[in-house]
Amino acid sequence: MNFMTKLRKAWASSNSLLCVGLDPDPSKFPGMLRDKPRAILDFNKAIIDATHDLVCAYKPQIAYFASQAAEDQLLETIDYLRSQYPHIPIILDAKRGDIGSTADQYAAEAFARYQADAVTVNPYLGSDSITPFTRYAEKGVVILCRTSNAGAQDLQDLQIDGKPLFLHLASKVTKEWNGNQNCLLVVGATWPEQMRQVRDVVGEMPLLVPGIGAQGGDVQALVKAGKTTEGTGLIISSSRAVLYADSGKHFAQAARQVAKATQDEINLYR
């Protein structure tokens, strides 16, 4: 099953546009986990087991594993998802961006080594930095477009021929880079007006939407701006607000409560 089919099935089966970002920070773990040798894996498994029926995807962020020399626990987290919840898409948040043989290796890292269903990439180097990923036709390629951080405007809003750069990018991805129909765009929840503009350009293309929860994105505004005619088209990611809802022994139950409340809020505006 290719990524796009898997995503559509997950939207339907879970009745959810929520994605939980797996950003494991051991300094924020409950005390009973912090000194365990496989703390990251144990934490992730508890979060996954508590929220799996509420999400359309999981998004492990590779930096949180690499900084702890825990790439093996990233592999094990992905293996756990693939074995226990094989219907849920896995988006590796790596934001890779390079050219030539190096891009080939990054694509192999995401899709062969980690067996992710999709990966985030940075398009700044142009089409030849994206092709090594999009040639994996069954996989999703999630391209940064209008990100949620305040500094996004430094470059992404630059006007070129009367139109901001992020809209030029959205058009190029739609018309030139999406030959295998496996591209998605990242558009931050903190910019609903820009999201509306992107949706007008890309049609039904799915959007990965970070920036709710800890970053304060307006759920009602983003859903109305970004949803498709079918009421889907969005993968709305929340990480810290879900993962660290409670720092005690009931952290997983608290994570479920926040995930459920977020799912319900999103569905209210679909």
How many angstroms separate the CA atoms of 251 and 61, rounded?
20
Threshold 0.95, pTM exceeds: yes
Are 184 and 141 in contact by the 8 Å Cβ rule? The answer is yes
CATH number for 152: 3.20.20.70
pLDDT (tens digit, 0 to 9) for every residue of the chain, 270 residues total?
Answer: 899 999 999 999 999 999 999 999 999 999 999 889 999 999 999 999 999 999 999 999 999 999 999 999 999 999 999 999 999 999 999 999 999 899 999 999 999 999 999 999 999 999 999 999 999 999 999 999 999 888 999 999 999 999 999 999 999 999 999 999 999 999 998 889 999 999 999 999 999 999 886 666 789 999 999 999 999 999 999 999 999 999 999 999 999 999 999 999 999 999
The one catalytic residue among 95, 172, 224, 260: 95
What pLDDT does residue 148 have? 86
Q: Strand pairing of 163-164 and 159-160?
A: antiparallel
Q: Residue 260 burial (CB < 10 Å; 0-12/13-18/19+)?
A: middle
Q: In 3-state terms, the chain is what percent helix, strand and coil (to 5)?
A: 50, 15, 30
Domain that holds residue 250: 3-268
Asked whether the CA dihedral 41, 47, 52, 54 is positive or negative, the reply is negative
Distances in whole angstroms, Cα of residue 12 to Cα of each of 8, 16, 58, 186, 263: 6, 7, 16, 21, 13
Dihedral class, residue 102 (left if φ above 0, else alpha if ψ from -120 to 50, else beta): alpha
pLDDT of residue 215: 62
User: Which pLDDT score is estimated for 211?
Assistant: 81
Q: For residue 201, what is the enclosing H or E element?
A: helix 192-202
Catalytic (active site) residue 95: yes
Both tokens of 27, joined, read 């300094």
| HSE-up (13 A, CA, CB side) for residue 181 | 5
| Terminal Cα-to-Cα distance of the chain (whole angstroms) | 26
Count the domains in the chain: 1
